[in-house]
RNA sequence: GGGAGAGUCGCAUAGUGGCAAUUGCAACAGACUGUAAAUCUGUCCUCUUCGGAGUUCGGUGGUUCGAGUCCACCCUCUCCCA
């Protein structure tokens, strides 16, 4: 039954009584993903500063991200195809999800031009060369990358944006979705494992647009749905409100992926709203920049106050590095610009994020998630 | 003993009559949410109600409306010749 169904499967295992949180399991050809889950970001095929073995054995990551735009530019499709796909290229044998480049339409807004009928012309941030990303091409690239979960090409509109802009943007995104879906259906995986395509809900902060987006997406027999266009600068309450709204109108039986979120507190709050999957650069980027997340709050490891603190980075952590390295030593590494500092910081933060969602999962199963979440969130926001 | 040169805010540098004074590093703090980020921003002589105010460029004296900048002497250091 499991073989050659060519379908990803999602099974909901338990639900929280006091919130919309749920636990589940996603089956893929590269293994299972237990939700709620956090997915480390590996834009160019590398989770920055973290060795693949550590990612697997210490962080216990179940799925990582790659990025279509970045991988297309470097190493390029010829290399990826010759390698036999990204899994073989980077040595990661568990599931991979690739973002479509939709976020780059937002983050690289200064060096791209949207042509609704064609797609998006990007001017490479590396060498200035021009490249058209059409919906079809974005699927073709993701077929070559071989990601288990491919993302539809979308426009992630900025915040703030006018209703009129958001409405037009959504029309474009929906048009691209239809084309992505058609290409997805008419093409096959290249490497023997199945690939699925997640559509992305857009509509900025306008509920009627979000509704329309969900309505169109629900017509597709997709196996998971992403909520995009969030955490782009809007107030936190508005972000929660939109995520909440989307979760309420999305089908219950499909995994919901909230793209680009977030802080540890954001993740718990959105699990409570019914989100199953998260990704964010925060643990790795902040880890490189000396910002450490713990159950007690955040630490800026560059601060002078850690200079003589020879206690472990995190005495309660089961991560070896958290117990063998002291805060004073980690501070020294960052101050001295030693590469080991960002490596330990990234490893620690990713381990913490996976612990966070793993604990949330257990609390949901035990039926104590909401109480636990309300107690822990204020602590997570503290600055030590 | 003779000759040449140099002393600027932690360090290194810019500045040759209008200057609280350039730049880099260091230091200190902040930011980071589908990664153009091992990045970026701010502070960095003292005080400040953030508008300013007060003291500064080895030392002392002088020229000048005005001196880090010109002059004299002194101190310290570097190099070369003995």
- Rounded to an integer, what distance in angstroms lies between the CA atom of residue A357 and that of residue A271? 9
- Judged against a pLDDT cut of 60, whether residue A360 lies above it is answered with yes
Tell me what ipTM this predicted complex has. Answer: 0.90
At residue A3, the pLDDT reads: 43
Nucleotide nearest to A260 (CA to C1'): B34
- Judged against a pLDDT cut of 60, whether residue A2 lies above it is answered with no
- Judged against a pLDDT cut of 70, whether residue A188 lies above it is answered with yes
Whether A23 is covered by a domain: the verdict is yes
At residue A66, the pLDDT reads: 98
Whether A5 is covered by a domain: the verdict is no
Whether A143 is covered by a domain: the verdict is yes
- Rounded to an integer, what distance in angstroms lies between the CA atom of residue A111 and that of residue A105? 9
Q: How far is the CA of A288 from the C1' of B66 (A)?
A: 52
Average pLDDT of the segment spanning A254-269: 97
- Does residue A87 contact residue A190 with C-beta atoms inside 8 Å? no
- Does residue A146 contact residue A87 with C-beta atoms inside 8 Å? yes
Average pLDDT of the segment spanning A187-197: 96
**Whole-number average pLDDT of chain A:** 96
DSSP per position, A135-148: HHHHHHHHHHHT-S
The CATH number assigned to the domain holding A361 equals 3.20.20.105
How many domains does the structure of chain A reveal?
Answer: 1
Nucleotide nearest to A232 (CA to C1'): B33
Whether A324 is covered by a domain: the verdict is no
- Judged against a pLDDT cut of 70, whether residue A21 lies above it is answered with yes
DSSP per position, A11-41: EEEEE-SSSS-EEEEEEETTEEEEESEEEEB
- List beta partners, residue A166: none
At residue A254, the pLDDT reads: 97
| Domain encompassing residue A146 | 10-288+347-380
Q: How far is the CA of A147 from the C1' of B65 (A)?
A: 77
Q: Please write the tens of the pLDDT for every residue from A228-251.
A: 999 999 999 999 999 999 999 999
At residue A7, the pLDDT reads: 76
Diameter of chain A by CA atoms? 62
Residues sharing a CB contact under 8 Å with residue A82, sequence separation 6 or more, in sequence order: none
User: How many Cβ atoms sit within 10 Å of the Cβ of residue A384?
Assistant: 13
Residue with tokens 């993701």: A142
Whether A247 is covered by a domain: the verdict is yes
Q: How far is the CA of A316 from the C1' of B18 (A)?
A: 63
Whether A322 is covered by a domain: the verdict is no
Protein residue closest via CA to C1' of B37? A285
- Judged against a pLDDT cut of 70, whether residue A116 lies above it is answered with yes
Tell if the pTM clears 0.90, that is, is over it.
yes
- Judged against a pLDDT cut of 80, whether residue A92 lies above it is answered with yes
- Rounded to an integer, what distance in angstroms lies between the CA atom of residue A229 and that of residue A40? 19
At residue A59, the pLDDT reads: 98
Nucleotide nearest to A337 (CA to C1'): B38
Whether A295 is covered by a domain: the verdict is no
Q: How far is the CA of A270 from the C1' of B16 (A)?
A: 66
Whether A332 is covered by a domain: the verdict is no
Active site residues of A: 99, 279
DSSP per position, A319-347: -HHHHHSBHHHHHHHHHTT-THHHHHHHH
At residue A6, the pLDDT reads: 57
Protein residue closest via CA to C1' of B36? A125
At residue A4, the pLDDT reads: 44
Nucleotide nearest to A41 (CA to C1'): B35
Q: How far is the CA of A70 from the C1' of B65 (A)?
A: 64
Bases of chain B within 7 A of a CB of the protein: 26-40
């Amino acid at each position: 039954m499991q073989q050659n169904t060519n379908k990803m499967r999602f099974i909901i295992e338990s639900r929280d009584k006091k919130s919309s949180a749920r636990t589940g399991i996603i089956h893929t050809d590269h293994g299972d993903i237990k939700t709620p889950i956090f997915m480390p970001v590996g834009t160019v095929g590398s989770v920055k500063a973290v060795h693949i073995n550590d990612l697997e054995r210490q962080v216990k990551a179940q799925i990582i991200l790659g990025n279509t735009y970045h991988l297309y530019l470097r190493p390029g499709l010829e290399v990826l195809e010759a390698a036999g796909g990204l899994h073989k290229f980077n040595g990661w044998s568990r599931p991979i999800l690739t973002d479509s480049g939709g976020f780059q339409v937002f983050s690289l807004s200064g060096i791209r031009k949207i042509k609704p009928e064609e797609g998006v012309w990007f001017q490479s941030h590396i060498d200035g060369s021009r490249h058209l990303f059409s919906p079809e091409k974005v699927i073709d690239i993701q077929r070559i990358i071989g990601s288990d979960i491919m993302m539809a090409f979308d426009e992630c509109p900025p915040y703030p944006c006018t209703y009129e802009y958001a409405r037009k943007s959504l029309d474009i995104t929906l048009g691209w979705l239809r084309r992505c879906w058609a290409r997805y259906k008419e093409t096959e995986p290249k490497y023997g494992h199945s690939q699925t395509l997640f559509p992305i809900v857009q509509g900025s902060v306008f509920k009627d647009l979000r509704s329309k987006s969900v309505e169109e997406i629900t017509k597709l027999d997709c196996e998971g749905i992403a909520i995009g266009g969030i955490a782009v600068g809007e107030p936190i309450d508005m972000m929660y409100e939109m995520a909440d709204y989307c979760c309420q109108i999305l089908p219950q039986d499909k995994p919901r992926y909230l793209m680009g979120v977030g802080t540890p507190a954001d993740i718990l709050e959105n699990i409570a709203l019914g989100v199953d999957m998260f990704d964010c650069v925060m643990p790795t980027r902040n880890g490189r920049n000396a910002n450490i997340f713990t159950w007690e709050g955040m630490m800026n490891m560059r601060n002078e106050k850690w200079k003589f603190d020879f206690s472990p980075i995190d005495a309660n952590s089961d991560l070896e590095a958290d117990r063998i390295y002291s805060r004073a030593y980690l501070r020294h590494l960052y101050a001295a610009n030693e590469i080991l500092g960002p490596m330990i910081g990234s490893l620690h933060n990713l381990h913490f994020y996976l612990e966070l969602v793993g604990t949330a999962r257990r609390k949901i199963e035990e039926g104590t998630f909401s109480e636990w979440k309300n107690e822990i969130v204020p602590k997570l926001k503290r600055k030590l």
